[in-house]
């Protein structure tokens, strides 16, 4: 499941002795979904995004100070504890016991799929690999391949496009707020103007998200047979599994809204000629 991604998602709480149970289940979630490894990849993605911002927004003016600021912002040793704290809070609020769905992710198929997701996400750090995955998706769409229908069903069941579009819009707003914090945006651009600018990007974000998610998953699940992919999709169905996605997405957004605002502040400082 993609961590908004991802959008993978898992969390839990019980009724009696709530605090110990929540802590235990949160730890299990972190372990079963291998979230420390996921955040290592997210950190690398963030540093790559920082390079793109330097080239496309800052005209290469960021220099070593920008590179270090981005590295600090995306430091997994900083992000992961924040995520875990946010996850525990979301789990506590959910009032749901996710033990059954966690057990399904511990199955041989669940373990294999999680491993494939992380490996593919790591591989796509290479631009050539990402380009190849997009070309493969184009071929699948041109052929109207039955396999693509299975990928799209998984995406739909887990609401991956819409969740990631929402996360992207929120992150962009936080980035603009960071630019404003640093003085790179003048007072004439109010919150309403920022919101209008962000909403104007919705269609482009949705199109890019749809392509990226489907290309990524088509590559990730390539080793799975059609039957295995159907069964894995079934693992992610149902109220408990969908609640997992919501809780993980909530925790993810709590962390990456802050990341985006910090990134906006750092970019704004460069644009305003301030020291980072």
Q: Which residues of 186-196 are buried (b: 16+ CB within 10 A; e: fewer)?
A: eeeeeeeebee
Predicted confidence at residue 274, as pLDDT, reads: 77
- What pLDDT digit, counting tens, does each position of 235-260 carry? 999 899 999 999 999 999 999 999 99
- What pLDDT digit, counting tens, does each position of 119-145 carry? 999 999 999 999 999 999 999 999 999
Residue 6, beta-bridge partner list: 3
Q: Identify whether 10 is part of a domain.
A: no
DSSP per position, 219-236: HHTTTS-HHHHHHHHHHT
Statement: residue 36 has pLDDT above 90: yes
Statement: residue 66 has pLDDT above 90: yes
3-state secondary structure of 58: coil
**Other Cβ atoms closer than 10 A to 40:** 17
Predicted confidence at residue 7, as pLDDT, reads: 34
Q: Identify whether 11 is part of a domain.
A: no
Q: Identify whether 12 is part of a domain.
A: no
Domain of 82 in residue numbering reads as 18-271
Residues 154-177 have a mean pLDDT of 96
- What pLDDT digit, counting tens, does each position of 193-222 carry? 999 999 999 999 999 999 999 999 999 999
User: In whole angstroms, what is the distance from residue 262 CA to residue 249 CA?
Assistant: 20
Residues 221-225 have a mean pLDDT of 98
pTM over 0.85: yes
Give the pLDDT band (50/70/90) at residue 100.
very high
Statement: residue 15 has pLDDT above 60: no
CB-based contacts of 122: which residues, under 8 Å, 6+ apart? 41, 44
Q: Identify whether 8 is part of a domain.
A: no
Q: Identify whether 3 is part of a domain.
A: no
Q: Identify whether 4 is part of a domain.
A: no
Q: What is the mean pLDDT of the chain?
A: 91
Predicted confidence at residue 162, as pLDDT, reads: 96
Q: Identify whether 13 is part of a domain.
A: no
CA dist 223 to 171, 185, 209, 215, 228, Å? 33, 48, 23, 14, 9
Predicted confidence at residue 3, as pLDDT, reads: 38
Give the pLDDT band (50/70/90) at residue 273.
confident
User: In whole angstroms, what is the distance from residue 129 CA to residue 132 CA?
Assistant: 5
Q: Greatest CA separation found in the chain?
A: 57
Q: At what angle are helices 76-94 and 35-56 packed, to 10 degrees?
A: 120
Statement: residue 2 has pLDDT above 50: no
Question: Per the structure, how many domains does the chain have?
Answer: 1
Residues making up the chain, counted from first to last? 276
Give the pLDDT band (50/70/90) at residue 186.
confident
């Amino acid at each position: 499941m993609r961590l908004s991604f991802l959008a993978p998602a898992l969390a839990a709480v019980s009724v009696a002795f709530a605090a110990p149970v929540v802590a235990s289940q949160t730890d299990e979630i972190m372990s079963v979904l291998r979230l420390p490894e996921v955040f290592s990849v997210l950190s690398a993605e963030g540093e790559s995004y920082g390079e793109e911002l330097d080239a496309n927004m800052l005209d290469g003016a960021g220099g070593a100070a920008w590179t270090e600021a981005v590295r600090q912002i995306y430091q997994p040793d900083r992000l992961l504890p924040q995520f875990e704290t946010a996850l525990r809070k979301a789990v506590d609020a959910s009032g749901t016991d996710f033990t059954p769905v966690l057990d399904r992710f511990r199955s041989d198929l669940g373990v294999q799929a999680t491993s494939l997701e992380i490996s593919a996400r790591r591989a796509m750090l290479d631009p050539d690999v990402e380009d190849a995955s997009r070309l493969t998706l184009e071929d699948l769409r041109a052929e109207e391949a039955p396999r693509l229908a299975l990928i799209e069903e998984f995406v739909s069941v887990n609401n991956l496009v819409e969740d990631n579009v929402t996360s992207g819009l929120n992150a962009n707003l936080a980035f603009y707020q960071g630019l404003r914090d640093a003085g790179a945006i003048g007072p004439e651009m109010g919150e309403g103007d920022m919101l209008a600018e962000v909403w104007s990007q919705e269609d482009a974000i949705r199109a890019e998200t749809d392509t990226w998610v489907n290309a990524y998953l088509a590559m990730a699940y390539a080793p799975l047979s059609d039957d295995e992919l159907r069964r894995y999709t079934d693992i992610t169905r149902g109220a408990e599994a969908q609640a997992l996605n919501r809780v993980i997405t909530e925790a993810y957004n709590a962390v990456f809204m802050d990341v985006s605002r910090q990134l906006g502040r750092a970019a704004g400082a460069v644009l305003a000629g301030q020291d980072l």
